[in-house]
Amino acid sequence: MCAIGVVALAFGYGVGFGTSALRSVVESPLLANPAGSQDNFTGVFRGFNRLAAAEMAGGACDIPTNDYLSAEDSAIAAIQERAATASLNPPLDVARARLALRRARVAEKNNDLRLKTKYEEDAQQLLEKSGWKDSSPAHLRQIIYAIDSRENTCRPTTPNLDQPK
């Protein structure tokens, strides 16, 4: 009798722990869908989770791939969609400029100088719109380098591409 009780208790414990852990994983910053949030603030909150995660991955260890950049792009779009209705107005043009510069880096890596120039011009325009005193791509590149160095566990490994010029 006692053994059955203990086994049932252990089984229930396992199922309960698993259910709660699974819920946490589904709602975790990396998996939660900002568009699926019920209220607008949560949508913005999750959008920033996604943006931060994609940005960390995009800036880490010299691996800015199109996957991360697309994730960043969709996170910005998700935030934009919900921000106004949540009475928020985050400086998303700065995030877009940063994304454009990361794309310019990828284009440079692929020796596509035309595309690189286009992304840099996009970044400059966005920064001008955001009221930056120095909206040059070189200045933003320098800032991104400092932020990447601070936030990532490993430093950029390709000096020609990552260090400020």
Partner 1 sequence: MKQVAKYVLLTLVAALAGFLLGFRHAERTVGAGSTIFAQMLALSQYETLANLQYQEADAAHATQAQLDLVKFMQQLEARQTIAVPRAFNYERAQALMHLALLSEQAGNDEAFQQYLHDAQKSLDDVDQKWYSEEAMRKFITVADTQFKSGSPECACPSRPQKAEERSSVSR
- Summarize as ranges the residues that interact with partner 1 (CB under 8 A): 1, 4-21, 23-25, 27-29, 41-42, 44-46, 48-49, 51-53, 55, 86-92, 94-95, 127, 130-134, 143, 146-147, 149-151
Nearer CB in complex with partner 1: 12/36: 12
Least gap, CB of 146 to partner 1 (angstroms): 4
User: What residues contact residue 61 under an 8 Å CB cut-off, 6+ apart?
Assistant: 152, 154, 156, 157
Least gap, CB of 158 to partner 1 (angstroms): 18
Nearer CB in complex with partner 1: 8/113: 8
Q: What are the φ/ψ torsions at residue 109 (nearest 5 degrees)?
A: -60, -35
Least gap, CB of 160 to partner 1 (angstroms): 20
Nearer CB in complex with partner 1: 24/70: 24
Nearer CB in complex with partner 1: 40/115: 40
Q: Which of 79, 81, 36, 37 is nearest to 54 (CA)?
A: 79
Least gap, CB of 133 to partner 1 (angstroms): 6
Name the CA dihedral angle for 88, 50, 58, 153, rounded to a multiple of 10 degrees: 100
Nearer CB in complex with partner 1: 37/105: 37
Q: Are 94 and 125 in contact (CB under 8 A)?
A: no
Q: CA neighbours within 13 Å on the CB side: how many for 78?
A: 24
DSSP line for 18-56: HHHHHHHHHTSTTT--GGG-SSHHHHHHHHHHHHHHHHH
Least gap, CB of 2 to partner 1 (angstroms): 9
